[in-house]
Structure 1
């Protein structure tokens, strides 16, 4: 979607997540090959800062994009570590660089710990993660991206960076329902690819997560980053992350009433314009 809207993508950083790290790297390279773009891919952290985590092939399919396991890409990843790439890009594009975090926050947290100056250099951080109302998808109260590395998330949320959070329980209100059949009728290369990779996730979401259709956490977050008017209700609030070794590990705590007396640090998205998002999705899938 970023490329479709003419956004300059300076790099893709890879971090531990839904599937094996090696498959994540290959998926990123394969996707670039698929759209005919040569953008640096920087492998980064392969595990959380402190504790272990688990992958979720049952949710996203064995290949991470449904049950499709793509062939090894002809492209090669950069030899530069993602942490160093983030710091260098923040220096090069100081005041302009935006970081789209549709993953655990380990790379960004470690980059910050290595060079805290990036706080002033990174213009914006868009986070797909957390929950507003404590309705999780990996534990009863935690969303997967934050749960994987809550220690990293806690560092980032308290770093002073300009953060907008798009939560899991928000995006569950904006699933692709009857539009699924419309997308099938589009018959473009991208629309057919979309149906191919989302069938597994759609089935899981509707049967296991009790949704009406397939959710789009990453695409909704990206759409808001591309066009801020997609988000129709945003509140500036203090958000922290629970990183204890307990039942609520990975939960995002929002101080709705200002009880803690802390300065608000995150723009929390509460509502989006569904029609605008769906139109952006259609525009993306009509690309080729």
Structure 2
């Protein structure tokens, strides 16, 4: 029996963990990736486009359109995170050149076209700043009623920020767009699932888990170590695993320098996995808003758990996740997909 494939549209600011989210979707048989929107965030939007096209080239995928999004947030100047993700956004990894081209329409239009092409069935995933989605919502206010499920990686709920003491990166880069998206989805038939740092920082990739992935791909490699020379290149016998290991090494080093350990938080792959199977996380419904003017709190996401605002919930907030179940799924899917590439 064939499994129904779910149309998926992904909006990414492709850095290290976004790349793993893309590969997770490539390796998920129930997902039909119908489009990729490139958003400015971890790196500038032109580099994000190159990263998305390069990953598709590396993985032999030729039928997924990639669209360029806005070069800057709605109102604020763009801030990028090369310190976290490397100069090109993928750590030490290098992707193959490609002659593939972007669509002739922008990322906001790509959202709208995908929603109209798959009304009531499209699954949307946003793992970067919400600029493209906010612009799409301005152009097509019916978007929340066309999209079956929206999963957002962003915010931090009753939890510290990773960009300011209270704000998470994606929301901090473009808080106005996040506020517009939450407001736009207030009356939607399906509330967005929002995965903040309070759940995604439980998804900590370690060298041992990365070695399990290489083993599953049939390309075993020695576990990375904090004692390795920085920038040591992967020697894995699989091109995709080499790219993922070279990207993750930079990410490990960043987290180590931040005092978090020699590990990597896989925020965005969790969003991809939850989009296909929402039961991977436990959620609580609540009204959510974004602070736009606070001197110390701009970009903070606030959930009104106690109903002080008198508003109906506009989001399902992730509050609990089983990291072991997630990693089992990631390793099985990405490992099997990487094996198929080695046979081509």
Query: What TM-score results when the alignment is normalised by the length of structure 2?
Result: 0.79
1:85 deviation in Å? 1.7
Partner residue in 2 for 1:260: 309
Q: Deviations over 1:85-133 (max 9, x none)?
A: 2112211211111111011101111111111011211111100010012
1:173 deviation in Å? 1.9
**In 1, Cα distance between equivalents of 2:77 and 2:198:** 24
- Conserved 8 A contact 1:134-1:252: no
SS at match of 1:127: strand
**In 2, Cα distance between equivalents of 1:115 and 1:240:** 21
1:21 aligns with 2:71: no
1:176 aligns with 2:199: no
Higher relative contact order (CA 8 A, sep 6+): 2
Distance 1:26 1:15, change over 3 A: same
- 1:24-35 aligned within 5 A: 24-35=48-59
Tell me which of 248, 251, 258 is aligned to 1:198: 248
**In 1, Cα distance between equivalents of 2:115 and 2:243:** 33
1:2 aligns with 2:17: no
- Matched length: 287
- Conserved 8 A contact 2:287-2:311: yes
Distance 1:205 1:25, change over 3 A: same
- Conserved 8 A contact 1:84-1:111: yes
**In 1, Cα distance between equivalents of 2:34 and 2:215:** 34
- Conserved 8 A contact 1:62-1:68: no
**In 2, Cα distance between equivalents of 1:159 and 1:97:** 17
1:208 aligns with 2:258: yes
Partner residue in 1 for 2:329: 280
Tell me which of 152, 166, 174 is aligned to 1:141: 166
1:11 aligns with 2:35: yes
Tell me which of 99, 105, 114 is aligned to 2:130: 105
**In 1, Cα distance between equivalents of 2:292 and 2:176:** 6
**In 1, Cα distance between equivalents of 2:215 and 2:25:** 24
Give RMSD over aligned pairs. Answer: 1.6
SS at match of 2:165: coil
Q: Deviations over 1:147-167 (max 9, x none)?
A: 111000000011124200011
Distance 1:23 1:175, change over 3 A: same
**In 1, Cα distance between equivalents of 2:293 and 2:312:** 22
Unaligned stretches of 5+ residues in structure 2: 1-23, 220-236, 340-344
Partner residue in 2 for 1:234: 283
1:73 deviation in Å? 2.2
SS at match of 1:240: strand
**In 2, Cα distance between equivalents of 1:257 and 1:19:** 37
- Conserved 8 A contact 1:29-1:73: yes
Unaligned stretches of 5+ residues in structure 1: none
Distance 1:100 1:209, change over 3 A: farther
**In 1, Cα distance between equivalents of 2:203 and 2:25:** 20
1:192 deviation in Å? 3.0
Q: Deviations over 1:25-53 (max 9, x none)?
A: 01000111111112100111110011113
Partner residue in 2 for 1:270: 319
Partner residue in 2 for 1:83: 108
- Conserved 8 A contact 2:203-2:267: no
